[in-house]
Each structure stands twice: as structure tokens, then as C-alpha cells.
Structure 1
């Protein structure tokens, strides 16, 4: 089934619900068809890209569905990024139009100008239909008849690399119908115990990330109602109240959300009725064993975990019962796929031996305008995920650490090089190393260790550098602490020794 097949067979079924919207599948289908006509008239052709810079608003979905039904690319952009950061993504992906909202419009216009996109007349906003840039003005008068043919588009997510610059992950258009694509995806959602029974999927995590985006689209394709909470920023108590009121049956979450939920007062938690929940999928960061055990004790065996990356897609899955048999595992490889752990010699390692994680079975992709990076990621049909892990005798994967330099905070990847590039621009900085230090709530927090110039005044430098990062880095990338040191440790080659920096600062 697909979302539009439900529009044909059950048009009055509720598709999208929120504080300000109730949209049936029939109404959603009409709006998607109108947007397709609008894109055609705007000259957004097959293979062209459309960027979306929004919080979790319901208007995200009709435009995304229109593109995914007509061989167009969707580029979700993190709405927390600064104008220069957004400009890089817009310049790299070259979208034909951008959808944002009134609050973000000044930042997006600045980014579009910096990226050299053709004019602000291709930047539209959700919300007020009377505003000059209103998106609804573009499509609302268009016909509702469906396109002559439906062929699948693709979502082009941006995932930063160790160079610090985001990388667009682009897959070739399949030439398949959405119906055929849906059948290919059936195995994945069945492994995660997601069903076609009527229910409500609550959008808890940002749609600009691949997993929550994909799970939301999957839910619509299974005829499940999509519910948008009143606030796009996750608040534990507000989330519980909304989930209770709406009758949540499924969602995608990250471990940081679990930790916040578990910190709620006992009486607040006891008031929540979890009996409607069928599946809560989680990924995006390692989940502490104690946290997952506590969530299973509270909500029951409804937690479904997978391991993978934006590049690899879902590599392993593990349900609550399987996880309780081997706490800490992220599961075994999905049917037809293979996981390899490779040692320093590049050869497959024996069970129990740590090494780099490779997946065999992932769909080929290219990094946009970066063939060297693409080539370095693949070894034949084996994709380097790059995390450190090991397999047990039963083929279950245990992820031991993330990429060497990667910081993972609240389920979001933060890349040290990007922050280092900003700090080293300050005239008082000779060199800098950015690391992640353990944090109970966030997993890791960002700490920068700075070697200043001889002339620098140490007393106020940390605060000055914190201010320097504001406006140059998204808030979640800004260091929570900046340490000043006379000299950073170096190797014989002259390169900074990150391992010695970590030894000195992790845990402080």
C-alpha cells in the first residue's frame, strides 16, 4: 500500500493531525496533486531538488510527498544552522526552490544570497496565507487531478564528514513506482514490528534527520495517522501529555528523550497510560543499558532498535525480547545483508574481536560533488560505516564507540573539525582541539582546548571565544566549555595528539 492508495480506498481516514490541522488522506492527496502541478509550472523538473528548512510542521509532508511521487529530490535542512551553514548546503545541492517559515525567512534569504541562488521569489513560507511569500498562494488554485505517472523521487540528506563540511548523500532515481518502492520497504518496517493497523505516529524527533523522516513517511504509507506535537522542541512532560491525548501507537525517538522522560517525577510518569503503544523505534546514538531497561520496565517490550547510518540505512534490528537476552546489542544483520568487522589489516575479524564496522547490502550512493569521498567510503560492495564494534558468536553486533573524532550529543552528530575551523579564525588562537566529554544526559558535550598566542590575555579569552562562536555555529555545536592551555601535545610529525588530549580532559 501507499499513502495515495489509502486516499483512493479510504479518503476520510485521518492522515495528519495537530493543534491547527486535521487533514484526511483524501485532502492530503488533493493538496499533493496541486503542489505537483505547481512544481511543474515553476519549472522544477524531474531530477531537480527542493530544499525544506522547517521545524516539525505539518506542511513539511505535502511538499515532500509531491517530490517523492514525481522523480524529484527533497533536501531537508537543519533549521538550527546559521546562515553560512545553510548557504553551504544550498550551494552544494542547488535547489530550485526553498520552503521555510516566517521566523526563519531572514536567515534563509541571507543563506540563499550567499549561495547565489536565483532570487528570493523562489523562497516560500508556511503559515499566513496572506503573506507576500506564502507557499499556499503558489499551489492552492491548481487542479487536484493526479499526475499522469508516479515515479519515485528521493530524499537527499546532508551528513557531515570528518572534514567538517556536510556531505549530500544522493542516490540515483530508481525509476520505480512508489508502490514498488513501498513493497521493497515492507521488510524493514515488518522487522521493526510496524503494522498497517490504524494508529497514530507521533513525530518526536526532527524531520531533517533521516530516521524520523523515513519512519514518518513509512507510517503514512501504512495508513497510520501522523500527529505533530504543539512544540517542535522536545519537552518530556508535554510529549507525554500529547501522546496520551492523541492515543500514540508508535514513534521514533533517541536515547536522550528516554533519559528526560525517566527524570520526570514518579507521579507524572504513573499518570501516563502506555497501553496504546505498539512500537517505539530508536536509533541515532548508543542507548545506555540502564536507560533501555528502565524504559522497557515502564512502557513494556515495545522498544525496537536499529543500527545504521544515513549512508547505510538500516543494517541491524533488535526487538525488546532479543535485547533483554543480550543487553547492549544492536542486533544481527537484516536478512540478505552482512556485517563485517575488519581489523587493522583490513581483513574480517573473528567474533569477539574489535574493529571497524562494514555493511554489505547497502544501496549505492554518491556524495554530491565529492567523488573522492565516495570512493573512500566503499570497498567493492562493502560500505565503511566507520564505527568500532564487535560481533558475538551468534552474529549480534555490539557498537563500542563512534568514529574516532566524532562527537555524538543528544543523538546528533557534531564534527570537531567544523568547530576547530571557526575557533582558529580568532586572532588569539594558535591551535585548537575539540573533543567530546562524557555527559549523563547528552551522551557527550563539546569541549574545546585552545592554545593561545603569546600576546593573548588568558583571563577573558574563554568567554570571548564562546561569544565568537555565536552566529558562526549552530547552538548545539557551540562548545559547552573552552579550556586554555599553554601548549597542545603533539606527535613527532608535529600533528596534535588527540589521544593525549582526550586522556588529559575526558572526565574533567
Structure 2
């Protein structure tokens, strides 16, 4: 199934809707625009395996470019709308992009980045002076499919724990552009996605999961409702108003919805929901219990990464029987390895690997690619966890976030999961900061709830709260307070930025 089929059979059906303006793009319009863009890229000399980069907000144009690249064998590299000139220039150069499509709001950044790399082979489409927009460049081009279609893919850049982001490059698919993809099969089998799906897109479409799931819905012939940015109450209103059947969230979104006034939460009807899917970050057990109590057994979870070398998943009933788990493998085979690189028994903590999953590489970085695979060809996302006797995976933390304090391994995720449940905490980040005596000390940076002051007294309250819940060893030695923590628009905590601040302060002390 594919949008071009829906364009023939149901051309007037909405492929996507901008909820802010209620503007609609039909399948007939999407297919025609994608075909024109495909002809444009071909006319510029782009061939199978080449890359098109975009800096686009949550609007129709990102789908036009995505479906254009998908039908002529190109890679799509979507770049954050928060990008700096330097970071965009790096991605353009590293990816070898032959074309860049930028939204009006990002035209200046795109222009400066293009000048910085000084590539004469890069074609830029934007609203900058002297440039043409993508739509202007496509005027008059054929609205029919190219004569030799070829399936493309995305090559998205992971945010990266340290240093520059990495371009995650899968192998290009072969065969028909209409052939089902693995994520489509999972969406149908696990979540009941089909042509009647009405999907609420809550996160930036330049990220892997939001873009990929939205495109899966369009493969089925459903409708994607696009939020410009996440808002807790607006999400509830849209679920009722648009009779949303499917949506994806991150745990931070759950927390924000749960902390709305109970009267506000009860105002909206959510009975149209068939599957609510969350991923991207660990969900505290009390938060997930609360969501299932509120919305019923429609909450689903999966664990994967931009690399998609494997996927685990579970539904509400499975999670209630295995609280804290991220599920069993539905793509690839789970392997837990010890420090010696050998498999460990069930219940034993180690590095999480997937065998038998799709292959990928980090673009232009064979060393990082090598580090992602072991000698048996199994791939890792650099997480730590364990598998129980029934094959359910429990994650401990990311390997790079583990704190070693006085020789003791401490995993900040469980501390964060506890802190966020305190009624006066809006958000929390826990990490290791350099310490002359202990090697690292455990630091908690907390965003208090509105009206709560960050003070020594509040810090002591939280210290007691953690000590009672997790014991003294895991209790942060230092509590600091911020009005807001650095999170990506998806809700993903950018903890590396906080760690870098404390490292700089330590070196300067």
C-alpha cells in the first residue's frame, strides 16, 4: 500500500491536516506534488543513493519531499528546525546532500550554511533572495510518476551523546515502491493501523519516530493530524474533536497531561482511541499506571532507536503483568552480553544487543559503525538492561549515562523516574559531575512545579524522598534548581548539555 494508490482510489481523502489552520492536503494533491518534486530532483541529476536534506517545520512540505525521495531511491535527511548554521553545514557536508529544502522561517540559516560549505553541487530551495521555493521550482513539471521508480529511505542524524551527531544510514530497499515495509506490518499487527486510522502527530516531524509513523499511516491511507507543537490540553481537545484513533507520545507528554487540573482532564472524551504508542525515553512506572487507569488498556510501548536494528514491544496487559518492561522482541533477537562479550543468563544485567535485525551504518564513520556491532554481527544501541525468563526486556539506563561514584555503579534513570513522581517536581535530570574525591558525584537538577521555590529546604525534602525510595547510595549529593530543563521538542532530555556545564565549571574551579 502506498499514497499513490490512495491518490487513484480516493483522491479527495485528506492525507494530512494542519490542526492550527484546518488546512487539508488530499491524497491526490500529495501524490501530484511528490511526483513533481521527484521529477525536479531527477532533473538536477540526483540518482539512486543520493541525499536530499530538509529544514522544515510541521507542515505539508516535509511529506511532499519525503514521498518524492521515497519513489526515486533517494535518502531523506531531515534536520532539526533548532539547528545552528554550523550544525546544518556539518550535516550537509557529512551527508553529501545534493539538494536542500528549507522552510521560510529557516531560509537565512540555510543560506548561511550553504555559503559556509561552499559547495557548487548543492541546490538550495528556500525563500531567500535569489532562490526559488520548492513549489516554484516544481511549477510546470509532470504530476505523473517517473518512468523508473525506485524505493528510497531516510538517513536521519541521531542527536548524539557526545560530539557531532551520527547519520544513521540503512540499506536502500529493493523492489517495488509499493512493497510493505517492516514498520507498516508492525503498525497493523500491533496497533490495528489501517485506512480508517486518524493519527495525531504531536512531535517535530524531523525526528525519526514522528516522521516514520506518520508515513506509515499514509501508506495505509489514513489521515495525519499535525500539531505545530505539543500542548497538553490541546492534545486532549483534538483527540475528542477529530475522533483520533492513534497517536504517539513521549513520557514527558504523559506527565504534562497528568499534571493538568483534574477538571480539565475530565472535560474531554478519549473513547475514540484504539492505540496510544509511547517510546523515545523511559516511562516512570507510576506515570504509566496513571495513564492506563485514565485511558484504559490502549497504551502501548516499544523500544528501538533511529538505527532500528531491533524493536521490542508490549501492550497494556503485558506491561501490567511486567511493570517497567519495554517488551519482547518483535524485530531482531534480544541478546544480553556481559563485560566479556558473552551472553549472560536471564535476570543478569548487561549490554543490550539485537541479533538478526536490519543492518545499518553510521555514514562516513566506519569506526563508529564497527563499535555498534560485535564479532557475531549483533548490534547495540548502547543501553544496559536485563531479560527475564519470559523474554521481557527491562532497561537500566544508557551506558553513557552510568555514574561511577566511589567505585559504585549508579543508574540515574531510576532516580529521575522517582523524582518526577513527587507532586512538587515538574521535571528532573540526574547525572554524574566530576568530583575530586569520588570520581563523580550524583547531581539532580530539578524544575519545581509552578509556585514552588527552589530552596535548601526543598532540596532536603527531595533528598529524604529519594533516600526513602531508593536508599542512601543512590541519593544525589547535590540538588540544583532550574526554571526549565533543556529538552528537545520531542520531550527528550538533553542531559549531555547539563553534564557539559558542570564539567566546564569543574575544570574552571
Do the structures match in fold with TM over 0.5?
yes
Alignment match of 1:63 (pick from 54, 62, 65): 65
Alignment match of 1:378 (pick from 347, 357, 373): 373
Cα pair distance change 1:44/1:183, threshold 3 Å: closer
What is aligned with 1:85? 87
Q: Measure the CA separation in 1 of the matches of 2:502 and 2:434.
A: 5
Q: Decide whether the 8 Å contact of 1:446 with 1:478 is kept in 2.
A: no
Aligned pair 1:341/2:336, yes or no? Answer: yes
Q: Decide whether the 8 Å contact of 2:352 with 2:380 is kept in 1.
A: yes
Q: Measure the CA separation in 2 of the matches of 1:370 and 1:393.
A: 37
What is aligned with 1:417? none
Q: Decide whether the 8 Å contact of 2:309 with 2:359 is kept in 1.
A: no
Shift of residue 34 of structure 1? 1.3
Which deviations, in whole Å up to 9, do the C-alpha atoms of 1:441-481 show, x marking residues without a partner?
55526897699xxxxxxxxxxxxxxxxx9xxxxx9675499
What is aligned with 1:33? 35
Shift of residue 295 of structure 1? 0.9
Q: Measure the CA separation in 1 of the matches of 2:176 and 2:326.
A: 32
Aligned pair 1:273/2:253, yes or no? Answer: no
RMSD: 3.0
Which deviations, in whole Å up to 9, do the C-alpha atoms of 1:141-183 show, x marking residues without a partner?
2121212132210100111445411111112222221222x15
1:285-300 maps to which residues of 2 (within 5 A)?
A: 285-300=281-296
Q: Indicate the SS of the match to 1:70.
A: coil
Which deviations, in whole Å up to 9, do the C-alpha atoms of 1:181-238 show, x marking residues without a partner?
x154443213431321413111111212211111111110011101112xx2212122
Q: Measure the CA separation in 2 of the matches of 1:121 and 1:404.
A: 38
Aligned length, in residue pairs:
434
TM-score normalised over the length of structure 2: 0.79
Q: Indicate the SS of the match to 2:126.
A: strand
Q: Decide whether the 8 Å contact of 1:305 with 1:330 is kept in 2.
A: yes
Q: Measure the CA separation in 2 of the matches of 1:385 and 1:137.
A: 41
Alignment match of 1:400 (pick from 367, 391, 396): 396
Q: Measure the CA separation in 1 of the matches of 2:183 and 2:401.
A: 33
Structure 1, gaps ≥5 residues long: 408-434, 452-468, 470-474, 490-508
Greater displacement, 87-96 / 186-195: 186-195
What is aligned with 1:444? 429
Q: Measure the CA separation in 1 of the matches of 2:25 and 2:185.
A: 28
Q: Indicate the SS of the match to 1:444.
A: strand
Q: Measure the CA separation in 2 of the matches of 1:345 and 1:172.
A: 30
Q: Measure the CA separation in 2 of the matches of 1:199 and 1:23.
A: 16
Q: Decide whether the 8 Å contact of 1:353 with 1:391 is kept in 2.
A: yes
Q: Decide whether the 8 Å contact of 1:447 with 1:481 is kept in 2.
A: no
1:456-471 maps to which residues of 2 (within 5 A)?
A: none
Q: Measure the CA separation in 1 of the matches of 2:500 and 2:259.
A: 24
Q: Measure the CA separation in 2 of the matches of 1:86 and 1:391.
A: 39
Shift of residue 358 of structure 1? 0.3
Greater displacement, 319-328 / 371-380: 371-380
Structure 2, gaps ≥5 residues long: 404-411, 421-425, 437-485, 487-492
TM-score normalised over the length of structure 1: 0.79
What is aligned with 1:304? 300
Cα pair distance change 1:375/1:119, threshold 3 Å: closer
Which deviations, in whole Å up to 9, do the C-alpha atoms of 1:376-418 show, x marking residues without a partner?
21123310221110011101000011122389xxxxxxxxxxx
What is aligned with 1:193? 191
Q: Indicate the SS of the match to 2:266.
A: helix
Q: Indicate the SS of the match to 1:334.
A: strand
Q: Measure the CA separation in 1 of the matches of 2:364 and 2:309.
A: 21
What is aligned with 2:483? none
Q: Measure the CA separation in 2 of the matches of 1:51 and 1:373.
A: 22
Shift of residue 109 of structure 1? 1.7
Q: Measure the CA separation in 1 of the matches of 2:53 and 2:93.
A: 11
Q: Decide whether the 8 Å contact of 1:450 with 1:485 is kept in 2.
A: no
Q: Indicate the SS of the match to 2:370.
A: helix
Shift of residue 43 of structure 1? 2.2
Q: Measure the CA separation in 2 of the matches of 1:83 and 1:268.
A: 41
Shift of residue 81 of structure 1? 2.0
What is aligned with 1:252? 248
Q: Measure the CA separation in 2 of the matches of 1:355 and 1:263.
A: 35
What is aligned with 1:152? 151
What is aligned with 1:175? 174
Cα pair distance change 1:356/1:480, threshold 3 Å: closer
Q: Decide whether the 8 Å contact of 1:202 with 1:250 is kept in 2.
A: yes
Q: Measure the CA separation in 1 of the matches of 2:435 and 2:93.
A: 31
Q: Measure the CA separation in 1 of the matches of 2:145 and 2:43.
A: 15
Cα pair distance change 1:382/1:224, threshold 3 Å: same
Greater displacement, 70-79 / 238-247: 238-247
Shift of residue 276 of structure 1? 0.9
